[in-house]
Amino acid sequence: MGFDYKKTYQKLSNIELLKIILQPAVYRADAIDIANQVLSTREVAEQEKEQAELFVRQEAAKKHFVDYTRKETEATIAEKVQEFIDPRKNITGEIKPVLWVRVLVLVYIIRYLFDLPGYIRSLGWTIKEAGLLDWFTIISLASIIYTPVFCYLMLKKKIWGWRLFVFNAVFTLLIIPLSIIQTLWMAREYSFISAGEINYWSYLFSIFLYGFALIFLLNPVITSHFSVDGKTMKLTVIYSILLSVVIMAGFYLLSLGN
């Protein structure tokens, strides 16, 4: 059995019936028709009409405010998400790469802190085996100091921070394949580790991380952030490759000498 609007509405006051009639977006058409029928049998005062109209206006104002607040909240959330996904521009179109730079630096600092115990052990071993003035000792010590320095310069928006970061990415991407080859060769020649025990995922993660960093650093928005022009960018990449090759060749020659 359906809802008996007429029986229910006959118990309502004039103002309550007027509220139903004045809100067609809220109530069904048949409910409004019955409210009109019931109200047509009564005498409605002007004051009752004003009270009902005032109530409807207030309800409309509340709904408008709620809708406006919800839309503003959704817009703000969407803006924040968009800023996180692509923070190069804010709502006014102004270039804003600072957030991505900070995120990149934070990732490298976390990675550095994770690897720091290994760096320290390596430094202790080289000091013990080779002495303080040996090249391997100097290189090990430099690797501990190097990352915090270029991360600090990056946060300070210094062009040398950008240059060092580019060199670090290029050097790492070049040395990783050589490290894999060397590890596989040592595993085969000296059997200190089997090929199946090599952590290839670590190498792949490093390639992804430093590859992403290099693409990010060469983005025009980021180079503009560090006041790097096209010529400087190309020369930095070329010099980074050449210097990386020289350093790796030096490592090789030093290993032959030992």
Q: How far apart are CA 236 and CA 248, in angstroms?
A: 18
Q: Predicted confidence band at 166 (pLDDT cuts at 50, 70, 90)?
A: very high
Are 130 and 137 in contact, with CB atoms under 8 Å apart? Answer: yes
- Whole-number pLDDT of residue 1: 44
Last residue of a domain, one of 57, 85, 113: 85
Q: How far apart are CA 253 and CA 183, in angstroms?
A: 18
Last residue of a domain, one of 85, 112, 133: 85
pLDDT tens-digit map of 206-237 = 788 888 889 988 988 888 888 899 899 999 99
| Number of domains forming the structure of the chain | 2
Q: Predicted confidence band at 3 (pLDDT cuts at 50, 70, 90)?
A: low
Are 222 and 101 in contact, with CB atoms under 8 Å apart? Answer: yes
Phi first, then psi: give them for residue 89, nearest 5 degrees: -130, 140
Last residue of a domain, one of 55, 85, 115: 85
Domain holding 50, by residue range, is 5-85
State whether residue 4 is helix, strand or coil: coil
- Tell me the average pLDDT of the chain: 77
The pTM assigned to this predicted structure is 0.54
Mean pLDDT of the 55-76 span: 80
Q: Does residue 90 lie within any of the structural domains?
A: no
- Is residue 110 located within the same domain as residue 216? yes
- Whole-number pLDDT of residue 74: 74
Residues 6 or more apart whose CB falls under 8 angstroms from that of 171 comprise: 240, 243, 244, 247
Q: In this structure, what token pair is assigned to residue 128?
A: 């013990």
Q: Predicted confidence band at 71 (pLDDT cuts at 50, 70, 90)?
A: confident
pLDDT tens-digit map of 171-209 = 888 888 877 776 666 666 655 555 555 566 777 887 888
Residue 52 burial (10 A CB sphere; 0-12, 13-18, 19+): buried
- Is residue 233 located within the same domain as residue 166? yes
